[in-house]
Amino acid sequence: MPTSFNEDVWPFSVIYTDDESVLNRAYLEYDKESNNTKISTHEIAKYKSTVWSFQKEWRFRINCFNAAPRSLADKMPVQEYHELMINRLSSIGEGVSREYFYLDISDDAFSKMEIVLGPKMDEAQKMIVSSLVDKYNPSAKTEASNLSGKVR
């Protein structure tokens, strides 16, 4: 569920920094006194090291939470359903019940696709990408990463 379609929130421009406290911060905080867990959803995937700044990357953040199935809403008392919903939302460790989420991409955007190969890709992986591009999107541009040979 996107938190908002406001241009400041979704999609958003990545912020490039070398501040380790920002790059390595914890997004999940548990408060023992209130028995609540706080998730900084607006900070997740927001920052990258300046070495990647050439990407000028924009991201979509999709928050996925477990929740009580809507089909149960009419089959139980409102308060009981509400409690079940809160219980499910607080069960972070379970993950979400879907393996894949699909987003539509316009044909025009798909035809203008640009693919930057990862800096650690071997020749076999490059051949796979090339085959996929040839088969599914021959108009896509493929290029090597500026970081090839520069990262471990």
What per-residue confidence (pLDDT) applies to 129?
97
- Asked whether residue 110 carries a pLDDT value surpassing 80, the answer given is yes
Cα→Cα distances 32→19, 41, 86, 91, Å: 29, 20, 18, 16
How far is 26 from 30, CA to CA, in rounded Å?
11
Can you tell me the mean pLDDT for 105-131? 93
What is the reported pTM? 0.54
Is residue 146 very low, low, confident or very high in pLDDT (cuts 50, 70, 90)? confident
pLDDT for 50-83, tens place per residue?
Answer: 988 988 898 887 766 666 677 777 888 888 877 7
